[in-house]
Amino acid sequence: MPAEIHPTAIIAPGAEIADNVKIGPCAVIDDNVYIGEGSVIDAFASIKRFTRIGKNNHIHSYASVGGEPQDLKFHGEESWLEIGDNNTIREFATLSRGTEGGGGLTRIGNNNLLMAYTHVAHDCMVDNFIVMSNGATLAGHVHLADGVIMGGLSAVHQFCRVGKNAFLGAMSGISQDLPPYMLCIGNRDGGVHGPNLVGLRRMKVGNETIAALKQAFRTIWLDGQPRQQALDELENKFHNVGEVLELISFIRSSERGIMPAARSDD
């Protein structure tokens, strides 16, 4: 089916609109934009130039997608925002394109839910099956791995990474890396509370693997031994547990350091 475009929508001549796209009243689509088949752009949404959107995305009213980076080093150079398939981007979300210093690309993967008022800054990499709750914010150059959940009004400092299936609690902020499968709650003085047990059970992770991740948390964050010694010990003990090995690899590759354990009074 051809695209269904409301007569009040403003579509620049250089925009490419695939079949079966629906564009609502007063939406604005700039030049150098591609919108993939089956996507829906609601009323008053704005898709800025240098944005490529895949299939079956739903961009809700008043979202601003592909805006110029909020970075003083940006001087108008060409850079891009790429969005995969099956994403939901809710009202007033803001997604910025990349900068020269970050490789010129902000990327959103597939099957993500970005709730109202979320912000994805320049040069971020947001993988797949991620939930950013209302008001969640990413500074520049952040990487969210598959399955991350960010609670409402939470925030991630620039250049940080959040590992696979980690959980960042509501109104929490992190300024160091949050390793995979871990749960972090609290402000910048908060920390890691342990494995993300609810998320792991939803993933149908077995009890033995969960027990291994609990032991890894205690060894890395609570036992007080040197970090490298703790990682070597865990690698030797759980060499056949992929989730623990992934946790170890993430920590070893961290450049910013990892979030500390939560204080006992958190």
Q: Is 30 among the catalytic positions?
A: no
Strand-pair category, 51-53 with 113-114: unpaired
State the Cα–Cα distance between residues 248 and 178, nearest whole angstrom.
Answer: 12
Strand-pair category, 191-195 with 182-185: antiparallel
Catalytic residue (one of 58, 60, 119, 122): 122
Q: Is 122 among the catalytic positions?
A: yes
Catalytic residue (one of 42, 71, 85, 123): 123
Segments in the chain forming alpha helices (H): 197-202, 207-217, 227-237, 242-252
Would you give the DSSP letter of residue 102? Answer: G
Q: Which amino acid is at 107?
A: R
Classify residue 128 as left (phi > 0), alpha (psi -120 to 50) or beta.
beta
State the Cα–Cα distance between residues 173 and 59, nearest whole angstrom.
Answer: 26
C-beta separation of 111 from 82 below 8 A: no
Catalytic residue (one of 84, 140, 190, 194): 140
Q: Is 186 among the catalytic positions?
A: no
Residues annotated catalytic, as ranges = 122-123, 140
